[in-house]
A and B are shown apart, each in its own frame.
Chain A
Amino acid sequence: MAVTSSGTATVTLPTDEQILITREFDAPKNLVYKAWTTPELVRRWWSANRGEMTVAEIDLRVGGMWRYAMVADGGFEVAFHGEYREIVPNERIVLTEVYEGIPDAEAEAEAALNTLTLTEEDGRTTLTNLVEHRNKEGRDAHIDSGMEAGMQDAMDLLEQVAITLR
């Protein structure tokens, strides 16, 4: 049986400090977990269509660090890092996330707490990623960064259109 794409991500804002991302996958949860926690697999999806992933470090144990970096198509680097706080294989990961684009001292204090949850039913997995910021400003800035990325997409499309018109 051919199964079509599982659809788009859903983003909601449960509170002023939170972002909740939800998506269903046509795969069992152990595979989603594997794709989420194996560096060479993360490299293939995390940067989406927005650039080349240059760093994917995962020290998957409580207290272990992770760091992801990508070079966006515009040439600038975007990097994040954090620490694993809780790990339940195939089911749940709690980690901190720091955006390296803001000054160090400030960034650590502004770290978000992310909770990834995987639940499986009939071979399909529902993934939820709850991002909890310290305050509304941090949360809003996080969403604004997606806005900029969206603008970048729009510019890329515009460029493609412009090339076809040449």
Chain B
Amino acid sequence: MNDLVGVLGLAQPQVSKHLRVLREVGAVDVRDKGRQRFYRLNGHALKPIHDWVKNYERSWSERFDRLDAVLEELKEKEEGDGSDE
């Protein structure tokens, strides 16, 4: 919990509130150890979101693979020209 407060730069009550919501929907699991609470991401619960975004992500990946090829050509051309334009 203290780690999360540090990383997120949010006040502890806010972090607690977010974690409570995440716990309620099963996105994180919680374990008590003495006075400390440990939270762990539940990958299984997040998978449907990952799957949903994955195809959209792939269409951009394909685009960018092609853009890589265009950029390679532009770089070669620039080196050949020895100028910026």
A residues near B (Cβ < 8 Å) are 5-6, 8-11, 13, 19, 21, 23, 25-27, 30-32, 34-35, 41, 44-46, 48-50, 142-143, 145-147, 149-151, 153
Alpha-carbon distance between A143 and B16 when the two chains are bound, in angstroms: 30
Alpha-carbon distance between A157 and B83 when the two chains are bound, in angstroms: 43
Q: How many B residues have CB within 8 A of the partner chain?
A: 26
Do A45 and B59 contact each other (CB < 8 Å), given the known contacts A9-B64, A31-B78? no
21 CB-based A-B contacts, threshold 8 Å: A9-B60, A9-B61, A13-B49, A19-B56, A23-B64, A26-B68, A26-B71, A27-B71, A31-B74, A41-B74, A44-B66, A46-B63, A48-B66, A49-B62, A50-B59, A142-B56, A146-B53, A146-B58, A147-B52, A150-B58, A153-B55
Evaluate contact between B78 and A45: CB separation under 8 angstroms.
no
> B residues within 8 A CB of A142?
56
Interface centre among B61, B64, B78, by most chain A C-beta atoms within 10 angstroms, is B64
Q: Which residue of A lies closest to B66 (CB)?
A: A45
